[in-house]
């Protein structure tokens, strides 16, 4: 059994592993290196902080650093960046305060997470173009949309570095009226809601034909209509060609056309001179002026450290691991957004940058390192989100994914109600379900409604884990009461309709 466990990365997977290893083996030395200042936080809460539903960004921190050190006995080293790993010598090289030093390990976890991808277009380095993946950038963004002075939003100790400072500098000097969100994925849609709530003119540009592509077209179309009704201007099937800076914009190269109106936008306020800031984006459908751009085109695994150490990556581009989170080196583990997951329906390795999978894998690695080998577990792709006052949920495979995986998909879409028809407050919910024609096995479901979608999807996820057929799902003994659902719950009704399609 090893006695020194080093963890690179202090968020979901890293802190879960460190905490579990220390609890299971209190005598073990556990050291966590985090290059920033924030550890153990919920980045998924940033859109709600920006919107104003969460008052203080510190509320997004799950465990205070002091407690991790004083109560849990973890050697937490913030503002310490691991810049190299030597698997042969079993050491890591660390940079801190301008100096380098080496630390030995017996077991090592790479929990380096993921970084926000940027559009493949010139101009993403302009001032005012951002992707929010950490709390400092979220704090600066909140300062912007609320029009708060810097004195009212004190900087975090690491505020002078990275996107946070770039964004803060831009916002101090720029009067922003229009925000363009590039990418209609989960964070992009949630941030669009936050911007609308703050009174901005919000445009969302998505290269694909639908918003929220992982939720499937039937659900996505319902969400798109709701976004438009809520004041978001959608530009679907539209590719970003480049982002235009202030210097070029002042040369009068044209103006944007707003969706559905055909009229030109008004020129925005000029930012301070001295740096080139974003003023518009050029798309294959025209130009959209903007004083700020938020990108949500995906998440890329942070694998540079692993690659430089000769640790194998999988076909997905994330770090390849076995069922216990071990890499090709049995003393080096990987967990979280930087590591591959196994999809339980297809058996294939996938990238799935969601919090539960990261926390669960980290905890499993911590137990394994402490002497109780524990599988990190697979995923079925369950995700939920809020789009204004709609709940959106999905799990499993959609029709296209099922076909690509070798299944013969059969699907149906039902629209039903969330409570008994005679009970006040009921609303519509749309459920799309997919099954395999050969085996009758349920493969996936997505749904959207004003209530009930976010928690109903968990029942479907459980059915997918158990490998239930559509007929078996239709026989599940769900609870019923008029305030919570109709006699035929929407999940059961979708299973019944899908069963008819399979006959």
Catalytic annotation, residues: 44
Give the residues across from 190 on adjacent strands.
Answer: none
Distance from C-alpha of 449 to C-alpha of 415, rounded to nearest angstrom: 10
What is residue 43's three-state secondary structure?
helix
Task: Assess contact for 294 and 132: CB atoms under 8 A.
Answer: yes
Nearest to 84 by CA among 48, 49, 108, 65: 108
Rounded distance between C-alpha atoms, residue 311 and residue 112, angstroms? 14
As a whole number of angstroms, the distance between CA 414 and CA 266 comes to 43
Cβ atoms of residues 378 and 390 within 8 Å: no
| Nearest-angstrom CA–CA distance, 376 and 319 | 14
Crossing angle (nearest 10°) for helices 162-173 and 135-146: 10
Residue 198: CB partners within 8 Å, gap ≥ 6? 50, 51, 52, 145, 146
How many Å apart are CA 145 and CA 103, to the nearest integer? 43
Whole-angstrom distance, CA of residue 120 vs CA of residue 304: 20
Are the C-beta atoms of residues 468 and 439 closer than 8 Å to each other? no
Specify the 3-state DSSP secondary structure of 386: strand
Checking DSSP bridges between strand 107-110 and strand 4-8, what pairing results, if any?
parallel
Whole-number Cα distances in Å, 482 to 153, 241, 503: 46, 52, 31
């Amino acid at each position: 059994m090893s006695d020194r466990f080093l963890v690179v990365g202090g968020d979901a997977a890293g802190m879960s592993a460190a905490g579990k290893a220390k609890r299971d083996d209190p005598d073990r030395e556990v050291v966590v290196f985090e290059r920033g200042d924030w550890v153990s936080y919920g980045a998924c809460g940033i859109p709600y902080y920006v919107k104003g539903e969460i008052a203080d960004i510190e509320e997004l921190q799950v465990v205070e650093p002091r407690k991790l050190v004083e109560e849990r006995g973890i050697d937490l080293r913030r503002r310490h960046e691991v810049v190299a790993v030597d698997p042969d010598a079993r050491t890591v090289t660390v940079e801190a305060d301008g100096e380098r030093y080496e630390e030995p390990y017996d077991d090592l976890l790479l929990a380096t997470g993921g970084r926000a991808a940027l559009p493949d277009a010139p101009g993403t380095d302009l001032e005012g173009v951002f992707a929010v993946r950490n709390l400092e950038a979220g704090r600066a963004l909140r300062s912007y949309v609320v029009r708060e002075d810097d004195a009212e939003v004190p900087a975090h100790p690491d505020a002078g570095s990275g996107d946070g400072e770039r964004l803060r500098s831009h916002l101090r000097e720029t009067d922003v009226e229009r925000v363009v969100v590039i990418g209609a994925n989960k964070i992009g849609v949630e941030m669009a809601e936050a911007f609308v709530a703050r009174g901005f003119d919000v445009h969302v540009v998505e290269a694909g034909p639908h918003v929220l592509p992982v939720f499937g077209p039937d659900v996505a179309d319902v969400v798109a209509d709701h976004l438009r009704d809520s004041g978001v201007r959608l530009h679907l099937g539209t590719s970003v060609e480049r982002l235009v800076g202030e210097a070029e914009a002042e040369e009068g190269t044209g103006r944007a056309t707003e969706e559905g109106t055909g009229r030109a936008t008004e020129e925005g306020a000029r930012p301070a001179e001295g740096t080139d800031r974003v003023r518009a984006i050029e798309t294959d459908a025209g130009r959209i002026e903007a004083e700020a751009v938020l990108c949500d085109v995906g998440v890329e695994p942070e694998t540079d450290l692993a690659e430089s150490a000769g640790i194998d990556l999988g076909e997905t581009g994330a770090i390849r691991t076995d069922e216990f989170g071990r890499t090709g080196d049995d003393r080096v583990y990987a967990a979280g957004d930087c590591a591959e997951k196994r999809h339980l329906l297809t058996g294939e390795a996938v990238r799935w940058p969601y919090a539960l999978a990261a926390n669960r894998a980290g905890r499993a690695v911590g137990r394994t390192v402490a002497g109780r080998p524990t599988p990190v577990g697979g995923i079925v792709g369950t995700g939920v989100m809020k789009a204004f006052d709609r709940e959106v949920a999905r799990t499993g495979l959609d029709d296209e994914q099922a076909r690509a995986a070798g299944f013969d998909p059969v699907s149906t879409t039902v629209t039903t109600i969330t409570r008994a028809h005679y009970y006040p407050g009921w609303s519509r919910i749309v459920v799309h379900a997919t099954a395999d024609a050969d085996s009758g096995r349920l493969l996936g479901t997505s749904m959207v409604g004003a209530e009930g979608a976010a928690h109903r999807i968990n029942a479907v996820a459980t059915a997918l884990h158990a490998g239930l057929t559509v007929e078996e799902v239709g026989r599940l003994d769900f609870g019923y009461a008029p305030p919570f659902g109709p006699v035929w719950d929407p999940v059961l009704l979708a299973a019944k309709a899908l069963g008819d399609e399979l006959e």
